[in-house]
Amino acid sequence: MASSHIILPKEEEEEAAAAAVAEVGLGAAVEADHDHRPYQEQGPGKAALPFSATCVRISRDSYPNLRALRNASTMTLHDDDAAFVKLEEGDYGYVLDDVPHLTDYLPDLPTFPNPLQDHPAYSTVKQYFVNADDTVPEKVVVQKNSPRGVHFRRAGPRQRVYFESEEAKACIVTCGGLCPGLNTVIRELVCGLSHMYNVSNVFGIQNGYKGFYSSNYLPMTPKSVNDIHKRGGTVLGTSRGGHDTKKIVDNIQDRGINQVFIIGGDGTQKGAYEIYKEIRRRGLQVAVAGIPKTIDNDIAVIDKSFGFDTAVEEAQRAINAAHVEASSAENGIGLVKLMGRYSGFIAMYATLASRDVDCCLIPESPFYLEGEGGLFEYIDRRLKENNHTVIVVAEGAGQDLIAQSIPAADQQDASGNKLLLDVGLWLTHKIKDYCKSKKMEMTIKYIDPTYMIRAIPSNASDNVYCTLLAHSAIHGAMAGYSFTVGMVNGRHAYIPFHRVTSTRNKVRITDRMWARLLSSTNQPSFLSQKDIDAAREADKAANRMKSREDAKKQSTPVLANGTDGVEAQLAAPILPQQPATDGPVPQPARPDVNNATAPDAGDQEEARTTGTDVAGGTLTQAEVKPTPGTNVSWPTTPPDTPERDVAPAPRTEHAQATEMELDVDTARPEGCTTPPPVQDSEGSDTQSADCRGSPMHGMQAGASVKRD
Ligand SMILES: Nc1ncnc2c1ncn2[C@@H]1O[C@H](COP(=O)(O)OP(=O)(O)O)[C@@H](O)[C@H]1O
Ligand SMILES: O=P(O)(O)OC[C@H]1O[C@](O)(COP(=O)(O)O)[C@@H](O)[C@@H]1O
Ligand SMILES: [Mg+2]
């Protein structure tokens, strides 16, 4: 039975101890210890103790605060993480999921006035320092009787800091894959430390985590980083793997570093958390600030990761090229692979922005090729309707389908990420074979822009975002917190490490955003009647469980702040399946049941109010609107929309074609080596350049299609 240390407010000590004793049979043993830990800044001077905290060994399931946390949000809390959770409850179901502070284990640290108060630029700002009690809500869509839910500490400068400028010694490291904006964050960390806090001891760690113990630290000054934001990549170098917590902390300790800025994705933030824990174990006065980076935009809680906008924008170029190529050929097919190992955000946003895409395939939405409602049937139809078609595929899509035909070597990269098979290349050959079997003349152009996309410098809006993230990170570190920084509902916040490492954002195929995509492309949803039935069953099971939970709650009142989340995790997710005709069922990516904040999380809120158990990953016939092209009882032809008001070409047109042009081109940008096993990709953003290059555009009989 897992047990863990939990910091408890004084007034609950007795109750919790009693609860622990009562649960001895379940493995709980009171062990209490007694370090009195202040946990938050209390204005000028030495931090005051808001409560006398006690460390108690207790089964985490038995502690109502943690239950409240789980009830108030959809996160999954790992047992190990429970040891470092700092919770405060307020009125009306308010929960503060706070970040650790140096004074948690070094209660007598002196504080100093924030040098910003004398800064010619900042000192004029009215109320420049954030209120010590300010917090940011995880959810902003609420109903009249909603509990207030989980909050995070608001980021920003504090009146008192825990490092003197001359004593502060900071280091910066970048880990994981590249992402637009890395250099901007580095630049703004160096400049911000120097310009705002007069910190001149700043060092770069080269080539990721292993640089802590395998290379020299690079002194960095505002002058040396002045122009780096105009370049892609990271001037510090990056790597996967190489995380050795003890060796890293040994080096931090030996070199007298007291602020560690760690830029990287979910893996990197896990590493940052380990570093923080080791630092705390050793009692070092070192603040650890994580700045989340991922091109895939799949880090939990935060609104968006830096570089994502830039990536989506750049992906547009590839999609435009694919569209020009496809629409300039007879039966032209343009296929673009974008990054997205587990999450299809880049593909989804690039598709929505483009309007030239006929089908978007992402890891979260399993698809199949053959039979009614399958991809081939859809391609066939689009070619007949429009003479060309554009497909966007995220690199993590269809991996199980590919594994059926290509024996997948179960390889991993240095960080333990599974190496992917090249879905773009595989799909190209599958489509080619299909057309050949149908004696259909066609041209397919496969474009893999993945590394080109992530190697560019960040665009203007990402540059500003990177600057603000860097500044928030600096303020938090100077104030003695350890955290991952991020924007939550438009406000910068200090988020506990466990929050961003315990789950990953995924596109929820039960949310309105994915529905928007389906309705914009009119692609099949690839859900079968079997899937819908399974969804109904799972929904019923979830409801039964919910009733049991409710009954239990009535008999045992706890600090229940809400119900979503707990039931959600109990409910079995829907696993859409391909039809029997298409061989074994692929293991589909499931709607992410633990996803706290996806870019489209607002949709989930609405779904909840309309009765859809989205958080539980379930969907019912009532909530799921018939999706065009679905191979269920819904019509396979799309409803009449202006976009789709097309007179389909007679089927015989293709059947009569005897000549074949199977021109499979794989456009590989320089430096992009993507042989079958092993892949990655990513994508991009915003507006569709109006790229209607087809000489056939608008020439088809009956065609009044907006998108060509
Ligand atoms: N569970 C973990 N604990 C400690 N370090 C980790 C963990 N997972 C990944 N890392 C380290 O984080 C770094 C980057 O991880 P990776 O998954 O490749 O990229 P990202 O951080 O972008 O997700 C690597 O150096 C890797 O060793
Ligand atoms: O080829 P590399 O450098 O291992 O990176 C590829 C992977 O990195 C990703 O871009 C995600 O990495 P990050 O989350 O670190 O940005 C994936 O989409 C892709 O599979
Ligand atoms: Mg990762």
Q: What pLDDT, on a 0 to 100 scale, did the predictor assign at position 70?
A: 55
Task: Return the higher-pLDDT residue of 590 and 506.
Answer: 506
Please, which pLDDT band fits residue 405 given cuts at 50, 70 and 90?
confident
Please, which pLDDT band fits residue 268 given cuts at 50, 70 and 90?
very high
Q: What is the pLDDT of residues 622-655, one digit of tens each?
A: 333 333 333 333 333 333 333 333 333 333 333 3
Atom 8 of ligand 2, nearest CA residue: 177
Q: What pLDDT, on a 0 to 100 scale, did the predictor assign at position 127?
A: 76
682 lines ligand 2 (CB under 6 A): yes
Name the amino acid, one letter, at 351. T
476 lines ligand 2 (CB under 6 A): no
pLDDT(291) > 80: yes
Q: Kindly give the distance from the C-alpha atom of residue 76 to the centroid of ligand 3, in angstroms, as a whole number.
A: 18
Q: What pLDDT, on a 0 to 100 scale, did the predictor assign at position 489?
A: 98
Counting ligands in written order, which one lies closest to the CA of residue 417? 1
| Conformation bin of residue 186: beta by default, left when phi > 0, alpha when psi is -120 to 50 | alpha
How many percent of the chain have pLDDT more than 90? 56
608 contacts 615 by C-beta, under 8 angstroms: yes
Q: What pLDDT, on a 0 to 100 scale, did the predictor assign at position 167?
A: 97
Counting ligands in written order, which one lies closest to the CA of residue 179? 2
Alpha carbon 503 to its chain centroid, in Å, reads 9
Q: What pLDDT, on a 0 to 100 scale, did the predictor assign at position 83?
A: 74
Domain with CATH 3.40.50.460 in the chain: 309-457+509-537
Q: Stretch 91-104: mean pLDDT, rounded?
A: 96
617 contacts 575 by C-beta, under 8 angstroms: no
pLDDT(278) > 80: yes
| Conformation bin of residue 424: beta by default, left when phi > 0, alpha when psi is -120 to 50 | alpha
Q: What pLDDT, on a 0 to 100 scale, did the predictor assign at position 139?
A: 93
In whole angstroms, what is the distance from residue 584 CA to residue 570 CA?
A: 26
The helix (run of H) or strand (run of E) holding residue 153 is strand 149-154
Among 294, 298, 393, the mutation site with the greatest number of ligand 2 atoms within 8 A of its Cβ is 294
Q: Stretch 452-459: mean pLDDT, rounded?
A: 97
Q: Kindly give the distance from the C-alpha atom of residue 266 to the centroid of ligand 3, in angstroms, as a whole number.
A: 5
Question: What residues are in contact with ligand 1 under a 6 Å CB criterion?
Answer: 175-177, 208-209, 240-243, 264-268, 270-271, 274, 294, 415, 417
CATH class of 309-457+509-537: alpha beta
Q: What pLDDT, on a 0 to 100 scale, did the predictor assign at position 527?
A: 79
- DSSP track, 245-287: HHHHHHHHHHTT--EEEEEE-HHHHHHHHHHHHHHHHHT---E
Active site residues: 296
Q: What is the pLDDT of residues 587-618, one digit of tens each?
A: 333 333 333 333 343 343 333 332 322 222 32
In whole angstroms, what is the distance from residue 487 CA to residue 467 CA?
A: 12
Q: What is the pLDDT of residues 118-172, one digit of tens each?
A: 888 887 777 789 998 999 999 999 999 999 999 999 999 999 999 999 999 999 9
* 588 phi and psi angles, rounded to 5 deg: -80, 155
Greatest mean pLDDT among 16-20, 407-411, 460-464, 618-622 lies in 460-464
Q: Kindly give the distance from the C-alpha atom of residue 699 to the centroid of ligand 2, in angstroms, as a whole number.
A: 42
Ligand 2 atom closest to 266 (CA): 14
Q: For 663-697, give one letter per residue: b (16+ CB within 10 A) or e.
A: ebebbeeeeeebeeeebbbbbbbbebeebebbebe
pLDDT(568) > 60: no
N-terminal to C-terminal alpha carbon distance within the chain: 59
Q: At 422, list the tokens.
A: 């090249």
Q: At 255, list the tokens.
A: 């070199």
Q: What pLDDT, on a 0 to 100 scale, did the predictor assign at position 563?
A: 29
Task: Please calculate the CA angle 593-595-601 and round it to the nearest 5 degrees.
Answer: 110
Domain with CATH 3.40.50.450 in the chain: 67-305+458-502
pLDDT(445) > 70: yes
Q: At 23, list the tokens.
A: 């649960």
Average pLDDT of the chain is 74
Q: Stretch 671-679: mean pLDDT, rounded?
A: 30
Task: Return the higher-pLDDT residue of 562 and 273.
Answer: 273
CA atoms within 13 A on the CB side of 606: 9
Q: Stretch 306-321: mean pLDDT, rounded?
A: 97
Q: What pLDDT, on a 0 to 100 scale, did the predictor assign at position 547?
A: 60
DSSP 165: T
Q: What pLDDT, on a 0 to 100 scale, did the predictor assign at position 417?
A: 84
How many percent of the chain have pLDDT more than 70? 63
Under DSSP, is residue 301 helix (H, G, I), strand (E, B) or coil? coil
Q: What pLDDT, on a 0 to 100 scale, did the predictor assign at position 130?
A: 93
Q: What is the pLDDT of residues 352-387, one digit of tens each?
A: 999 999 999 999 999 999 999 999 999 999 999 999
In whole angstroms, what is the distance from residue 696 CA to residue 450 CA?
A: 30
Lowest mean pLDDT among 164-178, 392-406, 664-678, 684-698: 684-698
- DSSP track, 603-647: HHHHHHHTT--TTTT---TTTS---TT-BSSS-SSPP--GGG---
Least Cα distance to 477 among 208, 169, 248, 130 occurs for 169
Please, which pLDDT band fits residue 544 given cuts at 50, 70 and 90?
confident
Interface predicted TM-score (ipTM) of this complex, two decimals: 0.97
* 180 phi and psi angles, rounded to 5 deg: -60, 135
Write out the binding residues for substrate: 294-296, 339-341, 395, 451-454
Please, which pLDDT band fits residue 193 given cuts at 50, 70 and 90?
very high
Q: What is the pLDDT of residues 652-673, one digit of tens each?
A: 333 333 233 344 444 443 333 3
* Residues 604/605/606/612 CA torsion (nearest 10 deg): 60
Domain covering 67-305+458-502, topology:
Rossmann fold (3.40.50)
Q: What pLDDT, on a 0 to 100 scale, did the predictor assign at position 16?
A: 43
Q: What pLDDT, on a 0 to 100 scale, did the predictor assign at position 413?
A: 87
Q: What pLDDT, on a 0 to 100 scale, did the predictor assign at position 664?
A: 44
Under DSSP, is residue 88 helix (H, G, I), strand (E, B) or coil? strand
Q: At 644, list the tokens.
A: 């789709």
Please, which pLDDT band fits residue 535 given cuts at 50, 70 and 90?
low
Q: What pLDDT, on a 0 to 100 scale, did the predictor assign at position 82?
A: 74
pLDDT(112) > 80: yes
Among 249, 263, 268, the mutation site with the greatest number of ligand 1 atoms within 8 A of its Cβ is 268
pLDDT(4) > 70: no
Under DSSP, is residue 300 helix (H, G, I), strand (E, B) or coil? coil
In whole angstroms, what is the distance from residue 156 CA to residue 175 CA?
A: 25
Please, which pLDDT band fits residue 410 given cuts at 50, 70 and 90?
confident
Q: Kindly give the distance from the C-alpha atom of residue 415 to the centroid of ligand 3, in angstroms, as a whole number.
A: 8
Please, which pLDDT band fits residue 18 given cuts at 50, 70 and 90?
very low
Ligand 2 atom closest to 339 (CA): 18
Ligand 1 atom closest to 293 (CA): 22
The helix (run of H) or strand (run of E) holding residue 392 is strand 388-394
Could you give the angle at which helices 245-254 and 266-282 cross, rounded to 10 degrees?
60
Least Cα distance to 195 among 231, 155, 172, 226 occurs for 226
Atom 5 of ligand 2, nearest CA residue: 177
